[in-house]
């Protein structure tokens, strides 16, 4: 995700939303100011999480979300990575 996505509680809000939706994976800040996430779960829940990521939390301003397929990591929960 690009835009104003760091310093606005994006990662913790993503964790809260992911756990509510029942998806696993992770979210992390990147050095270039963007946020990266890996999401695993049922198709509908993953799509709902992507919809949320396109909006972000209240103080975020998401300009773009780039979606690519990735290898399954079989994550047990959704967490913040550093």
Give pLDDT, residue 25: 98
Q: Which of 11, 28, 77, 81 is catalytic?
A: 11
User: Crossing angle for the helix pair 10-21 and 43-55, nearest 10 degrees?
Assistant: 150
Number of domains in the chain: 1
Instruction: Give me the residue label for tokens 């990521």.
Output: 53
Q: Which of 4, 29, 81, 82 is catalytic?
A: 29
Domain span at residue 60? 2-80
CATH number at residue 22: 3.30.70.100
29 is catalytic: yes
The candidate with the shortest Cα–Cα distance to 18, out of 48, 54, 43, is: 48
Token representation of residue 25: 């994976």
Summarize pLDDT for 19-63 with one digit per residue, the tens: 999 999 999 999 999 999 999 999 999 999 999 999 999 999 999
Q: Are 11 and 72 spatial neighbours (Cβ–Cβ below 8 Å)?
A: no
Give pLDDT, residue 22: 98
Q: What is the pTM of this model?
A: 0.94
């Amino acid at each position: 995700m690009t835009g104003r996505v760091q310093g606005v509680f994006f990662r913790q809000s993503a964790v809260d939303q992911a756990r509510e939706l029942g998806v696993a994976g992770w979210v992390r800040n990147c050095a270039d100011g963007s946020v990266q996430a890996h999401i695993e779960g049922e198709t509908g829940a993953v799509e709902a999480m992507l919809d949320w990521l396109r909006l972000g939390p209240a103080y975020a301003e998401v300009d773009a979300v780039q979606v690519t397929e990735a290898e399954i990591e079989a994550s047990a929960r959704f967490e913040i990575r550093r």
